[in-house]
Amino acid sequence: MKQAILLLGSNLDNRLAYLRKGIRYLNTEKTKIITTSSVYESPAFGYKSSNKYYNVAVKINFSISPKSLLELCLSIEDNLDRIRHSNIRYSDRTIDIDIILIDEEIIATKTLTVPHPRMHERIFCLKPVQEIASNWIIPTFAISVNEALNNLKETSLVTKLDVKI
């Protein structure tokens, strides 16, 4: 079995409910949740929105291919009313599920890049991931999640919330 770190995010409607449903749908026969981070709140990144994001990282065991894991994540997003805009890169969303890391693998295909290519730049990703996988190595940079977080200049934009996932 392989392990992966996924990041779930939501900034529309009942954000916590969308995260909870996403996590529940990820717990299948072939993908098992091992641990879940706290929920973190942050402003939108890469575009302007008045809706703040809730983000949570999950560590999973999985017995399917990385491509099948991506397909599962996309189908969960579809089931939770994620709307994709073909001409807009970033927009508000009910749910977003990104594959951040898979063991220490590097994957570069047309549809999947692991480690997530911008994870090391994003405090909203690194904070929850660090909580559950601080020593995991980001193989494209040969540094740990902890080191990547320490390299960030701006770390005040993310708030850990006191809510149960």
Give the per-residue pLDDT at 86. 66
* Residue 137, strand partner residues: 144
| Residues 109-144: b if buried by 16+ CB within 10 A, e if exposed | eeebebbbeebbebbbbbbbbbbbbeebbbeeeeeb
Q: Please tell me whether residue 106 adopts helix, strand or coil conformation.
A: coil
Give the per-residue pLDDT at 64. 98
pLDDT higher than 80, residue 156: no
Domains with residue ranges and CATH for the chain: 2-160 (3.30.70.560)
Structure confidence by residue, pLDDT tens digits, 2-48: 999 999 999 999 999 999 999 999 999 999 999 999 999 999 988 89
Confidence of residue 154 (pLDDT cuts 50, 70, 90): confident
Q: Give, in order, the Cα–Cα distances in Å from 4 to each of 54, 72, 92, 153.
A: 20, 13, 25, 26
* Residue 160, strand partner residues: 40
Structure confidence by residue, pLDDT tens digits, 67-102: 999 999 999 999 998 887 667 677 889 999 999 999
* C-alpha–C-alpha distance, residues 107 and 123, integer Å: 22
Query: Whose CA is closest to 112, among 97, 131, 123, 126?
Result: 97
Give the per-residue pLDDT at 81. 85
**Residue 32: enclosing H or E segment and its boundaries?**
strand 31-36
Cβ pair 11, 93 in contact under 8 A: yes
